[in-house]
Structure 1
Amino acid sequence: MKKTSFTAYLSPIEGPMIHHVIILPEETAQEFRVEKGAVRVICSIENGEEFPCALNPRDGNYVIMASKQLIKKHRLKNDVPFTVTIYPDKKNGLELPEEMQELLLQDEWGAQLFEKLLPGRKRSLLYYIRTGKSVDTRIKRSMEILEKLKTESLHFQKQQKSD
């Protein structure tokens, strides 16, 4: 499947965590529709930097969740149209930042523990690493995650212990 571009608007929604979404036009949604759940894509807004995200089913549409950070970065406004370009993410949102990839090559135990994680947990951890602005921050975050995996002190690991 090739890149698909469409004109979109920021749509406010009611909710405790997400306050805005980008609704895909029906014809675009048809290209990506699957039986169940979210579809992982690579997205860019106004031909800017690409980022991984999900097309989430919501009220019969597919939507992209628009975080405050995304809205601010791209200066999105409710009634102002903008261009979104998407294409399938062959890596399912699991592309390793270079810093984490290097650490996993050097740490067999850490790599084994990381590989055992569910895809959604991996995506969350990789997102945290990727959002570090400097190489040093991304290295530090990668090291912290591997250490916490080994000591079973990541938040979800603590929850699993108490269940």
Structure 2
Amino acid sequence: MTTSEPIRFTAELSLLDGPMFTHAIRIPPDIGELFRTAKGAIRVLCSIGRKDEFPCALNPRGDEYIIIVSKALIRQHKLAGLQNFEVSIRTDPDNGLLLPEEFQEVLDQDEWGKRLFEALLPGHKRGYIYYVRSAKSVDTRIKRAFEIVEKLKTTKR
């Protein structure tokens, strides 16, 4: 099922057991099931407190669903110590693959780089997209986009 309209609910930050990730937003099971289409993580757009949406994954974990939350996101949204906060999620129509404008421009100017990028698996593409998107300045996003294209050209396959 695709849920194009945001579904809003109240959530809290939960500690996770495990070596890599420490915090998550637990999604009510009935809401998580609305997004279930297949096994594995589901790409969604999330908003906390009606702020800008960001792409993330709705991860099945046992009989529940979670969104893993980074320390940077906790700081950005001031979630530390909050008991409850408003969250909205909706299906990501781009499956987490919407290119930042700067990255798209670099790829449009380099046909070989664009072909190499398009040949990547979706998870690898998302990693590069996140790397570019996470830069604060336009100059850094452009620099990172060029770095990625050069890396793709020089990596042995």
| Shorter-chain TM-score tier | over 0.9
1:14 alignment partner, SS class: coil
Distance in 1 between residues matched to 2:81 and 2:122, nearest whole Å: 32
Question: What amino acid maps onto 2:143 in structure 1?
Answer: K
- Superposed displacement of residue 14, structure 1: 1.4
Identity, in percent, stands at 55
Determine helix, strand or coil for the equivalent of 2:146. Answer: helix
* Aligned counterparts of 2:10 and 2:19: Cα–Cα separation in 1: 27
Q: Mean alpha-carbon deviation: is it higher for 24-33 or for 130-139?
A: 24-33
Q: Secondary structure at the match of 1:83?
A: strand
- What is residue 41 of structure 2 aligned with on the other side? 38
Cα distance in 2 for residues equivalent to 1:77 and 1:27: 26
* More deviation, 124-133/21-30: 21-30
Q: Which residue of structure 2 lines up, in the alignment, with residue 59 of structure 1? A: 62
Match of 2:130 among 115, 127, 132: 127
* Structure 2 unaligned residues grouped into runs of 5+: none
What letter corresponds to residue 51 of structure 1 in structure 2?
F
Q: Is the 8 A contact 1:43 1:52 kept in 2?
A: yes
How far apart, in 2, do the equivalents of 1:111 and 1:74 lie?
34
The CA deviation at 1:34 is: 2.5
TM-score (norm 1): 0.91
What's the TM-score once normalised by structure 2's chain length? Answer: 0.94
What is the aligned counterpart of 2:27 among 24, 28, 49? 24
Runs ≥4 residues deviating over 6 A? none
1:140 aligns with 2:105: no
- Contact 1:11–1:78 (Cα < 8 Å) also in 2: no
Aligned to 1:94, which of 94, 97, 103? 97
Over aligned residues, Cα RMSD in angstroms?
A: 1.2
Between Structure 1 and Structure 2, the one with more helix by share is 1
C-alpha distance in 2 between matches for 1:78 and 1:48: 19
- Aligned pairs for 1:49-88 within 5 A: 49-77=52-80, 80-88=83-91
8 Å contact from structure 1 (residues 9, 78) kept in 2: no
In structure 1, what is the equivalent of residue 152 of structure 2? 149
Residue 79 of structure 1 deviates from its aligned partner by: 5.3
